[in-house]
Structure 1
Amino acid sequence: MDVFCALLLCFHLLTTVQVSGERHTFSVSVPHRVYECPEGANVTLTCVQSGPKAHSEDKLWDTWLFTPHLQEHCHKGAHPRGSSHNNGTLGVQYTEKGNSFSINLQNIKHRDQGKYCCLLLEVNKQKVEQGAREFIHLNVLPSTTRTQNGSLKCSEWSHSPTDDSVAEGLAIAACVAFILCLPLILMLVYRQRQTVERHRRAHELVRMDSEAQAHENPVFLGDSPQPKPRTISQIMRQSSETGRHLLSDPGTPFSSNIQGEFFFPAQEPIAESPNLLE
């Protein structure tokens, strides 16, 4: 019962930490993690801001970074196609709509393949209060498939926000809850072991006491165990071991009270027959 209460308390603590983290986390999510586009197509990469700002009067500043290596982090100043603002000549356009901000790349080439990072900062009087970032992979394929109207289409792989940022938050919350509950769990395990040890010692004392009273199994004899009855052969064997013979001692119920005589009476001598002497 104590272990169940401890687990219930830990679950409640984990839920509290999770709700608190979801309520105050400033983050960025992506509707689609991977885009696959043929060469010559146009693609729009989008990130979405979630979570409240630290101060309502703060301003949000967003930007996009790029690296051709999928296993590397995006570096400061490395913008897609080398431009951090709208540039029709390079085919780069940045847009903002509500909580989302996007980058549109026109007539993509194989050199556009790589990792795109969206960075969002909350700024208050030239001071960064908080920030968040996400990334998107763009794979560029050879141009082999066209639609009926001659345009090229990109394939988008759906992505759930719970797969990354929320999953990391849950993992951190679970670790914190486990660390906080660990002393309680260790204390309950210690108490459980002490209870088992006391029960074992009590059972051992009862067994030793029952052996001292010649009980084979005191558990089935009730609260007041009765001594096991002995048979006649056991009584006779015990008496013979002490040097007494119950059936041969005078005064026993099986012997007659004879004063001065043996158990078998003496017989008169038999006269010798003269015929046997000849």
Structure 2
Amino acid sequence: MKTTLLDDQTLTSETARFHEVANQSLEWVWETDAQGNFTYCSPSCKILYGYEPVELLGRNAIETLTPPEDREAQRKIIEEICLSKKTRKGLRRRAMKKNGTVIPIETHCLPMLEGKIVRGFRGMCRDISEMLILELRLEHKAMELTEVNNALRLLLHQSAEASAEHERRIHDNLQRLVLPYLEKIQERCKDQELALYLRVALANLDKITSTFSLTLSTRLGGLTPRELEVAELIKQGRSTKQMAAILDLSSRTVEFYRDKLRVKLGIKSKKTNLRSYLSSLA
């Protein structure tokens, strides 16, 4: 008998301390009996719902503060808490104020147990209207940023393609419309000084038209400078003999570089045309 009396006194004391702390909370703290009727309401219910604490005592929580269309779903949640005997945290639902206004709230609900029996519920609620507005704004901003990033990626891709196409046209036009004629002039030129100027001009044009070599070098960083030279000449349609003369190499050495290019480019089929393959990389 004494043990029961002490237990009741301890429970009463702890409940009093809990209510004292809850009265200072900005969030609404509440307690109900097993049937969901309020046994305690902190003063914050006036700010949240428009009710004085005394107005809610003894009234059913679902019938008083839940919109009619949401009450059945709320009863099922309470049944689940009773069965699991576990706390539900961060439960977002709709609540109805004294004037009928419906607001979004977040609830933490704790079943109060006496042995294995639920003797009531204790919880805390807060208005999350502003939080939901902020979340919605963040979602919109995230969507806007995603759209902007996608647009920028598309523009960068299109710009890179346009730049590559422009460079390719310059390269091809110079190779087709300028270099052949300069080479013919060089072949027929008897004046040594003029021939020197032509060689310098041709060398500078080679630098200007090095887009292909740069592209190939970027894609295949393992190529040596000599291999890049051979690749450029192959792309121009030069024969092995012509390449040997231009590079001051033997024909066998040029063939050796051609074979090395096939290996490094991963061209396994002999039917694959090396010049066509290299042109596709430019």
Q: Compute the TM-score of the two structures, normalised by the length of structure 1.
A: 0.31
Bigger Rg, structure 1 or 2 = 1
Task: Name the one with the larger helix percent.
Answer: 2
Task: Name the one with the larger strand percent.
Answer: 1
